[in-house]
Amino acid sequence: MVEQNESILKNLKDIQSLRSLLKSEVSISDPKEGEVIATIKVYNDAPESHDGGDIVFLGVGLRITDGRGRPKGSAYWPSRIKKSRPSDQAELRRKYNEGDWVGGTGDSFPAYTSDEQSRGEVLFPGESVVYEIKTSEDELPYLDVRVEGSLSRRHLFHISQPMEALKALTQPLVAETFRSLDAIDFYGPLVSLTSVIPALGPKTTIAEIDTFKAAVGRAKDHVREAMQELNKVYHSAPNQKLRDYMKKGIGQYLTSAAKMCDKTLEALSGSDTKKMQEAAEEMKAQLLKAEEVKRGQKELMAQFGIDS
C-alpha cells in the first residue's frame, strides 16, 4: 500500500510539473511624469503534439491586489491594461477541425468551447499574451500581480491516432512530394548572390553596379520560375501540412526574396550609394534565411518518418 501511495504521489508530481510550462516575464519602463508601464508576457512553452495530447492553458489572466487593501473596482484595471496576442498559432488550432467528423451530432473536438474562452485567455503551445499595465511609480511597489491559469484536461487527454495501415499507403505520396521539392533548387542561386555583393560606396564603379544589377535581375527571374514549379508540387501534395509548409515556408521565403530584389534594383538605379548598401545588406539578410526554411523541411520530414 505504501509503495502504491508513493507511485500515485510521483504521478501527481509529474502532472503538476506541467504547470511550469506556463511561463511569464516582466519588464518595467522608465518613469515618465510619475507613470510607468509594467509589461508582462505570459506564454505557453510546451511543444506541439502531433497525435493529440496538446498542453493547453485556459483561463489565463492577471490577478492584481493592492497591498494597502484598497479595492479598485471591477472597471479600474481593465481600463489601465492594454492586451495583445502577438503569436497566435492559427494552424495549430485549425487542426482540430480538419476533415469531416463521423461519431456524433456535435462538433468533433472544438479548439476551445465558449465557456473555456469566457474564463480568460486560451494559450496553445507557442502562444503568448502580453499585458501592458499603466500605473503610477508610487503605486507599483504595493501591487501583487500574479499570473493565473488552468491546465486543460480536455486537451491533455485528447487522443488522435492515425490508422497505420492507411498511413502506409500515403507515405509514398508524401515521400514523392519531398523528392519533388528537393529537385527544385529554390535556394542555391539566391544564396550565391550574397557572395557577389560588391563593397558599395563612393569608389564603386558604374560597371560594378551594372554587374550586380544583372545578378539581382537573374535572381528575380529565378524566383519567378521557382514559384511556378512550387505551385505544381503544391497542387499535387497529399497532405495539408505539406501545403502549409510550401505556402508559409518556401512560398513566403521566395516572395520576400523577390521584394528584396526589387528594393535593391530600385536603389541601384539611383545615385545614393548608402541606400544601395543598405538595400543590399537587407536583401542578403533575407536570402540567408534559407537555412531556416530548410530546417523546417527537415522537421516536417521527421514528423512523417522520412529520412533525408
Based on the domain organization, do 124 and 28 belong to the same domain? yes
Based on the domain organization, do 73 and 176 belong to the same domain? no
Residue 13 lies in a domain: no
Based on the domain organization, do 147 and 252 belong to the same domain? no
Based on the domain organization, do 179 and 123 belong to the same domain? no
Based on the domain organization, do 184 and 295 belong to the same domain? yes
Based on the domain organization, do 99 and 169 belong to the same domain? no
Q: Closest by alpha carbon to 54, among 146, 151, 195, 199?
A: 151
Instruction: Report how far residue 87's alpha carbon sits from residue 45's, in angstroms, rounded to the nearest whole number.
Output: 12
Reported as a single tens digit per residue, the pLDDT across 256-280 is 999 999 999 998 888 888 888 888 8
Based on the domain organization, do 92 and 181 belong to the same domain? no
**22 forms bridges with which residues in the sheet?**
44
Residue 102 lies in a domain: yes
Amino acid occupying residue 86: P
Number of domains within the chain: 2
Residue 289 lies in a domain: yes
Residue 2 lies in a domain: no
* pLDDT of 36 above 70: yes
Based on the domain organization, do 150 and 252 belong to the same domain? no
What's the CA angle centered on 199, arms 197 and 204, to 5 degrees? Answer: 110
Amino acid occupying residue 199: A
Residue 148 lies in a domain: yes
Q: Closest by alpha carbon to 206, among 275, 281, 273?
A: 273
Boundary (domain end) residue, out of 156, 172, 198 = 156
Per DSSP, the three-state class of 303 is helix
Cα distances from 27 to residues 41, 61, 263, in angstroms, run 9, 17, 36
Reported as a single tens digit per residue, the pLDDT across 73-127 is 778 899 999 999 999 988 888 888 888 888 877 778 888 999 999 999 999 999 9
Residue 33 lies in a domain: yes
Based on the domain organization, do 190 and 258 belong to the same domain? yes
Based on the domain organization, do 179 and 130 belong to the same domain? no
Residue 6 lies in a domain: no
Grid coordinates representing 197 are 555583393
What is the mean pLDDT of the segment spanning 143-151?
95
User: Which pLDDT score is estimated for 105?
Assistant: 73
* pLDDT of 308 above 80: no
258-287 in b/e form (b: 16+ CB < 10 A) is bebbebbbebbeeeebebbbebbeebbebb
Based on the domain organization, do 275 and 206 belong to the same domain? yes
Q: CB count, 10 Å around CB of 226?
A: 22
Boundary (domain end) residue, out of 156, 181, 197 = 156
Instruction: Report how far residue 41's alpha carbon sits from residue 18's, in angstroms, rounded to the nearest whole number.
Output: 18
Instruction: Label residue 241 exposed, middle or buried (CB < 10 Å: 0-12, 13-18, 19+).
Output: middle
Grid coordinates representing 303 are 514528423
User: Which pLDDT score is estimated for 304?
Assistant: 86
Based on the domain organization, do 38 and 145 belong to the same domain? yes
Q: How confident is the model at residue 32 (pLDDT cuts 50, 70, 90)?
A: very high
What is the mean pLDDT of the segment spanning 125-140?
95
Q: How confident is the model at residue 199 (pLDDT cuts 50, 70, 90)?
A: confident
User: Which pLDDT score is estimated for 167?
Assistant: 80
Residue 288 lies in a domain: yes
Domain coverage including residue 265: 164-303
Boundary (domain end) residue, out of 156, 176, 210 = 156
Q: Whole-model pTM? A: 0.71
Helices 252-268, 206-236: axis angle to 10 degrees equals: 160
Reported as a single tens digit per residue, the pLDDT across 250-259 is 999 999 999 9
